[in-house]
Structure 1
Amino acid sequence: MDYVILFGALAFLIAFAYRGFSVVIFAPLAALLAVLLTNPIAALPAFSTIFMPKVALFFELYFPVFLCGALFGKLMEMSGFAAAIADIVIRRLGTERAVLAAVLLCAILTYGGVPLFVVVFTAYPFAAALFRQGGVPKRLIPACVVLGAFSFTMDTLPGSPQIQNIIPTSFFGTTTWAAPALGVIATVLELAGGVAYLEWRRRCLRAEGYGDSAQESVPIELPRPVKPLVAVTPLFVVALVNWGVMLMIQSSVGATLNASLPGVAAPMSVNVGKSMAIWSVEAGLMASIAFVLLAGSGAIKGRLVEGLRQAVGAALLAVANAASEFGFGAVIAALPGFILIKDSIEQMPGGALVKTALSITVLSGITGSASGGLSIALGSLGDAFAHAAQAAHIPMEVLHRVASMASGGLDTLPHSAGVITLLVVCGLTHRQAYRDIFAITLLKTVAVFVVIALYHLTGIV
């Protein structure tokens, strides 16, 4: 019965999300129904002590980044910079390579350290302009973003600064550059396979064109000619300021930052390690926003008030969706069915790498979060995975790469906060775009087991 409740809640949320209903409403409803069926008296306490604190924590940590990302993306569109970049790419690669261009943009931003949800806001205006000019269906944009940002640059390519590649380091004593050869091979597999699929879909949907843009959340226009160097500069500003601020904090601030204000009784204390990445990203985005406001002031003037209003609305909706999913995952993780699944995975037969991949993939799928599933799996089973790998003489670097890659497989199921945020930003529904997202999801999941097979066959690390 515990399994029925768990998967029933998951199916309930997926069904309503797929039909276009807001997860802000149905994520807490699905979580509370699951608790109600498990222990009726615990429903309201679970809402007050698990769901809402997690929602509030998500807002506390990420709303400024969501807001800065939305503002940056909107200003890139209003200034004409996004459309100018699209023009540059079309002239260099041709309209036949619009899909590859969109994927590579997302990959550059993600591997450069820009958080995934910020990449969504930043890449969409660019991709929309590129796809409109190239006559590529708009509904392929989310799959392009998933391939470029949510796959190989997130957890497969060695050295990725994304959290999914960082979490295993504290459990296995590795670095983010673990298993470089396996990571590069898997990256080529994912990129080549994903682009081939999306190009095939583009050809199949050629007659559809860009699609109806009457409800375009970000109308794409090129108000006036923009110099290519000026148009691409904001992308470099994000990465460079992000990296520079992070280095400055590392060199000048200790593990804890303490400060005081006259109106605060106790000194304020912040864990720098946990906040540094967010602070540096916010600094990079704000610097880029300032650059766009100055360099594109002529095109933005007169439309700034309305543009800011739209950006704030998009940021609020996106962060509310993601926060609700975060709360849902926390409640689900407290259910007996979830605990049974963790225990079953720990006891199942199979090699260390296969067991690690399956457990993290399943938990990431259930929670709808790569980092959430990875944290839960390694927090409860990490030592067991490490001991099993050591007994089989498997290097910790290989275990790291498999664990990291596995987190980014089924995390993009329909109820995923990342997928929902992406669809909201693109102004699309699951019915319109999820088929292609799921194809990339399957490719990413299969790639994990290809890497495992490759290691066992060749011993390459």
Structure 2
Amino acid sequence: MFFQILAILIALGLLMFLAYRGYPVIILAPIMALLAVLLSGGHLLPTYTEIFMTNAGNYVKNFFPIFLLGAIFGKIMEMNGAAASIAHSIVGKMGSKHAILSVVLACALLTYGGVSLFVVAFAVYPFAAAIFKEADIPKRLIPGTIALGAFTFTMDALPGTPQIQNIIPTNYFGTDAYAAPLVGIIGSVIVFSMGMLWLERARRKAARASEGYGTGHKNEPEINPEAKLPKFWLAVLPLILVIISNFLFSRSGIAASHWYNPEMLKKVFLIADPATVVSSWSLIAALSLGILTALLLNFRQVSVKLTTTLTIAASGALLAIFNTASEVGFGNVIKTLPGFTAIQHHVLNASSNPLLSEAVSVNVLSGITGSASGGLSIALEIMSKSYLHAAHTLGISPELLHRIASMASGGMDTLPHNGAVITLLAITGLTHRQSYKDIFAITVIKTATVFLIAGVSSFFF
């Protein structure tokens, strides 16, 4: 059994190392999966076509509409000037005295409104650089500030967030995007407060050392002061519409659960439990409304480059989902190997409480793959039934399982090989050596918060 476990660890280790070195996960994942199969004495081609590809395909089938619509929505919000308007308004209103807070809030609003993390980084960075320079705050703190606003509490903790990390658990637990709202809000407050304390402490320390914004930086943005941006109240309209409509389509008299006859869905489309797809339907409808509103906001400006915009958005969505689908395929191959039984036993027994066990497994797999959505999908695909059974025995709500899993995915996923971290540093023209310390601090805060909430919750069961 030792060699069976070693085969899995070698494959996982190589996947993480090579991804950190910049090799594409979409190619690495199947190769590493088949390496684990080979070392375990399994059958290569049947495993690849019937396990890897089948599960990767199922992931694409379940989540591609959300990836695609989210990418289109974010790109149109960028093209029509709405994202820049929101960032500019918040940063401008709060001023240089509250530079860090203003950037965090701008990122949070955009992310919670459904704009993709990558678009948020592109949209906010120019204004963050300008106000940090005005306040003479080191540029090296910008990535950590953007990470706090976009990669943490609005990504997976706040109830109703349309980011994919909050939607994936709905397919496994029959919940919706608003699962365990109180727990999500408490977690958000803790992460936001502790993150701000860390960043402000770093700012004060730099000020005492007379470290200013710095000189000779790469990728310094240029803001066109004559650019015509939509008014703030118009710019936030698509975001508000996505948030409100997603709630109405999830938990109201016009919820997606009432749109079709359950018996028809079961008989014709083989959907045994509509609750597993209602959250996806709700978000698809909400994002579609958001896209139409964003188009109408400044149609003349967007229409000039609409074909290019849609092509870029579609390409980004395809790459993102196939990277994640490859990681899901990898995980499903690993779970069929003999060595995984022993690993699963240790993970499930990390704690007698399914909340803590779930937090461990999702955090570990998200950290290894460098992907919150990838690690979350792998963990739930493999162990969600076990967690549901244990939770039912202890009287734990599936909604709490959902929220802990979602928040745990955004914990250790932001290790150095994470794609979002690498992209953020590239956008800002900074290096891991300059700025990763603060991103890692935010990562530790988020991870600690998940285990704190899971641990406190366990006392009630």
The residue type equivalent to 1:233 in the other structure is: L
Aligned 8 A contact 1:9 1:33 in 2: yes
CA positional deviation for 1:376: 3.3
Structure 2 unaligned segments of length 5 or more: list them: none
Identity %: 37
Is 1:128 aligned to residue 125 of structure 2? yes
Aligned 8 A contact 2:51 2:329 in 1: yes
- Which position in structure 2 is the counterpart of 1:177? 180
Q: Distance in 2 between matches of 1:148 and 1:18?
A: 24
Structure 1 unaligned segments of length 5 or more: list them: 260-265
CA positional deviation for 1:122: 5.2
Under a length normalisation based on structure 1, what TM-score does the superposition of the two structures give?
0.76
Q: Secondary structure at 1:241's aligned position in 2?
A: helix
Q: Distance in 1 between matches of 2:303 and 2:404?
A: 49
Q: Distance in 2 between matches of 1:224 and 1:110?
A: 23
The residue type equivalent to 1:420 in the other structure is: G
Aligned 8 A contact 1:153 1:160 in 2: yes
| Deviations 1:244-277 (CA, angstroms, capped at 9, x unpaired) | 3443422332335559xxxxxx955556433322
- Which position in structure 1 is the counterpart of 2:260? 253
The residue type equivalent to 2:256 in the other structure is: I
- Which position in structure 2 is the counterpart of 1:328? 330
Q: Distance in 1 between matches of 2:314 and 2:301?
A: 20
11 and 243 in structure 1: CA distance in 2 versus 1, 3 angstrom threshold: same
Q: Distance in 1 between matches of 2:457 and 2:384?
A: 21
- Which position in structure 2 is the counterpart of 1:277? 279
The residue type equivalent to 2:25 in the other structure is: V
Aligned 8 A contact 1:318 1:421 in 2: no
Q: Distance in 2 between matches of 1:315 and 1:32?
A: 26
- Which position in structure 1 is the counterpart of 2:46? 45
Q: Distance in 1 between matches of 2:416 and 2:55?
A: 20
Task: Using the TM superposition, name which of 15-24 and 199-208 deviates more.
Answer: 199-208
Aligned 8 A contact 2:414 2:440 in 1: yes
- Which position in structure 2 is the counterpart of 1:22? 24
- Which position in structure 2 is the counterpart of 1:191? 192
Q: Distance in 2 between matches of 1:300 and 1:400?
A: 37
Q: Distance in 2 between matches of 1:64 and 1:241?
A: 17
Q: Distance in 1 between matches of 2:223 and 2:325?
A: 29
Aligned 8 A contact 1:356 1:403 in 2: yes
Q: Distance in 1 between matches of 2:174 and 2:378?
A: 15
Aligned 8 A contact 1:364 1:374 in 2: no
The RMSD of aligned alpha carbons is: 4.2
Q: Which residue, 431, 435, 439 being the options, matches 2:441?
A: 439
Aligned 8 A contact 1:96 1:134 in 2: no
293 and 7 in structure 1: CA distance in 2 versus 1, 3 angstrom threshold: same
Q: Secondary structure at 1:369's aligned position in 2?
A: helix
Task: Using the TM superposition, name which of 344-353 and 42-51 deviates more.
Answer: 344-353
CA positional deviation for 1:340: 0.9
Q: Distance in 1 between matches of 2:97 and 2:55?
A: 44
Q: How does 1:19-418 map to 2 (within 5 A)?
A: 19-39=21-41, 41-95=42-96, 97-105=98-106, 107-108=108-109, 114=114, 119-121=116-118, 123-135=120-132, 143=144, 147-148=148-149, 150-153=151-154, 156=157, 162-163=166-167, 176-177=179-180, 180=182, 185-199=186-200, 207=213, 212-213=218-219, 223-246=227-250, 247-255=254-262, 257-258=264-265, 267-268=268-269, 270=271, 272-347=274-349, 357-362=359-364, 365=367, 368-374=374-380, 376-384=382-390, 405-413=407-415
Task: Using the TM superposition, name which of 13-22 and 139-148 deviates more.
Answer: 139-148
CA positional deviation for 1:441: 2.5
63 and 142 in structure 1: CA distance in 2 versus 1, 3 angstrom threshold: farther
CA positional deviation for 1:154: 5.5
Aligned 8 A contact 1:132 1:210 in 2: no
The residue type equivalent to 1:26 in the other structure is: L
447 and 313 in structure 1: CA distance in 2 versus 1, 3 angstrom threshold: same
- Which position in structure 2 is the counterpart of 1:263? none
How many residues align? The count is 433
Q: Distance in 2 between matches of 1:316 and 1:210?
A: 36
Under a length normalisation based on structure 2, what TM-score does the superposition of the two structures give?
0.76
Q: Distance in 2 between matches of 1:373 and 1:256?
A: 31
Q: Distance in 2 between matches of 1:143 and 1:22?
A: 25
Q: Secondary structure at 2:228's aligned position in 1?
A: coil
Q: Distance in 2 between matches of 1:202 and 1:299?
A: 39
Q: Distance in 2 between matches of 1:250 and 1:20?
A: 43
The residue type equivalent to 2:66 in the other structure is: V
Q: Secondary structure at 2:61's aligned position in 1?
A: helix
238 and 90 in structure 1: CA distance in 2 versus 1, 3 angstrom threshold: same
Task: Using the TM superposition, name which of 27-36 and 314-323 deviates more.
Answer: 314-323
